[in-house]
Amino acid sequence: MRAAVPASIPCTVKLRRAYDDTPAMALAFERIFDAAYELGYLWATVHCRTVEQRYAGPGRWEFLRDLVARHPDRPIFGSGDIWTVHDIFRMMDMCGVHAVSVARGGSCNPWIFRQAREMMAGRAPV
């Protein structure tokens, strides 16, 4: 995609942390993640679950925290296990991600976006 559109049009990418929890998949993630930035993508949104894991069990926020710590110069958005407005800010605090992508949590709680705007403006979420 990056090669198909003019450089003036920003491109981003969303990745899962791996297909499964094998070391080979962890290395594959790192190669793809690095390549995205080398190709000129502005940021990566990284989901903290594997493909194999699907929606079962908790996401590994520590994976996001470690990824951000290894790449402090790269904008990284976090994704996974965001159900309330407080989860957004907890992920940012715990993991150091630059922003959070709300997926299924927005379907279950469509007010989460308004609540986040309220909190960012220093007001209590309603």
pLDDT (tens digit per residue) in 16-55: 999 999 999 999 999 999 999 999 999 999 999 999 888 7
Confidence at residue 57, expressed as pLDDT on a 0 to 100 scale:
75
Confidence of residue 67 (pLDDT cuts 50, 70, 90): very high
% of the chain at pLDDT higher than 90: 76
Cα gap 40→26, rounded to integer Å: 22
Confidence at residue 56, expressed as pLDDT on a 0 to 100 scale:
78
Q: Which amino acid is at 112?
A: I
Residue 59 predicted with pLDDT over 90: no
Residue 103 predicted with pLDDT over 90: no
92: nearest Cα among 126, 54, 61: 61
Task: Evaluate whether 36 touches 13 at the Cβ level (below 8 Å).
Answer: yes
Which pair of structure tokens corresponds to residue 97?
Answer: 């991600």
* DSSP symbols for 49-115: S-TTTTTSS---HHHHHHHHHH-TTS-EEEES---SHHHHHHHHHHH--SEEE--HHHHH-TTHHHH
Average pLDDT, the chain: 92
Cα gap 101→112, rounded to integer Å: 11
Confidence at residue 2, expressed as pLDDT on a 0 to 100 scale:
87
Average pLDDT over residues 86-103: 95
Residue 112 predicted with pLDDT over 80: yes
% of the chain at pLDDT higher than 70: 100
Which pair of structure tokens corresponds to residue 91?
Answer: 């992920």
Q: Hunting for tokens 């995205």 — which residue is that?
A: 36
